[in-house]
Amino acid sequence: MPVSSNTLIHFTNDKERLKSIFLENFRVGYCKEAPTLGGFGTKCYVPMVSFCDIPLSQIKDHISKYGDYGIGLTREWGIRNKLNPVLYLEPNSLLSESYRAAANYFLARAREEKDVVAKSDDYFRAVIALGEMLSYTKNYQGQLVRRDGTTTNDYRFSDEREWRYVLPSQNGVTPIMSEEHFTSDAGQARSSEVADSVRLEFEPNDIRYVIIKDDSEIHEFVDHLRNAKRKKYSERDIDRLTTRILTTEQIRQDI
């Protein structure tokens, strides 16, 4: 039995959010991350969309944590759009310590050689590269804090088999934000701008699965596609998607 799937699945607990994804593509939102590097914790906000490549036969637990609604797209679509699996780090590992040492080096150089650093393209490229690496980094295990405020200690994040799309750096600026920046007026304005304007797009042929809660929602979902945006979904597309619908009820009972 394979330990990973050829489908990248995005889950949500909101039916209306799933409907909006089909009509507007994926919105890119800032998510709080708290990777621990070399034993020292850090907090940052990453503009991203998350997926998993867990096989359907093993996905019941993931559904219980992230919601009854989802859309699965081909791995080829993910590679084409430059998604990447998350790098899971053990906080006290040698790799984690190496990352922290590299970050400390560049921060120290910035403080000591401001004039030189300010004119160094190589320095800025290296700093941006570190920021981009951090945006794909997550603790192997740690405390999971859910949206409702409940927590689970010693949660193994690596079991989620997460893939991410992260908004790429542009014009020499990495979009990852510190907690201080994110909570500022400027950070909140940037977060709203990204949510309103940035989309991760897909086409009907990229879709492998549509996951909804139960059979009673099938006609509602199909009618939504048929009535809301004919330009993107032809009748043939809708007929094809209808055959790709799974329910979480089916997954829990039969898969």
Query: What contacts 24+ positions apart, CB below 8 Å, involve 31-34?
Result: 32/179, 33/135, 33/137, 33/138, 34/139, 34/142
Q: How many domains does the chain have?
A: 1
pLDDT in tens, 222-236: 888 887 655 678 889
> From CA 29, how far away is CA 50, in angstroms rounded?
10
> From CA 138, how far away is CA 209, in angstroms rounded?
27
Among 173, 144, 169, 174, residue whose Cα is nearest residue 156: 144
> From CA 165, how far away is CA 126, in angstroms rounded?
21
Q: Tell me the pLDDT band of 204, cut-offs 50, 70 and 90.
A: very high
- Given 3-state DSSP classes, what are the helix, strand and coil percentages for the chain, each rounded to the nearest 5? 45, 25, 25
Does residue 82 belong to any structural domain of this protein? yes
Does residue 128 belong to any structural domain of this protein? yes
Least trusted range by pLDDT, from 1-15, 46-60, 104-118, 144-158: 104-118
Q: What pLDDT is recorded for position 189? A: 95
Domain around 23: 7-254
Q: What is the mean pLDDT of residues 56-64?
A: 90
Does residue 2 belong to any structural domain of this protein? no
Q: What are phi and psi of 35, to 5 degrees?
A: -70, 145
Q: What pLDDT is recorded for position 197? A: 94
Q: What is the mean pLDDT of residues 89-98?
A: 91
Among 167, 137, 165, residue whose Cα is nearest residue 42: 137
Q: Is the pLDDT of residue 1 over 60?
A: no
pLDDT in tens, 96-126: 999 889 888 877 776 666 555 555 677 777 7
Q: Any alpha helices (H) in 56-175, and if so which ranges? A: 60-66, 75-80, 94-112, 114-118, 121-135
Does residue 211 belong to any structural domain of this protein? yes
Does residue 92 belong to any structural domain of this protein? yes
Q: What angle do CA 52, 17, 134 make, to 5 degrees?
A: 40
Does residue 68 belong to any structural domain of this protein? yes
pLDDT over 90 percentage in the chain:
59
Does residue 13 belong to any structural domain of this protein? yes
Does residue 194 belong to any structural domain of this protein? yes
pLDDT in tens, 146-171: 767 788 889 999 999 999 999 998 86
Structure tokens at 214: 């139960």
189, containing H or E segment: helix 185-197
CB atoms closer than 10 angstroms to residue 152: 12
This prediction has a pTM of: 0.90
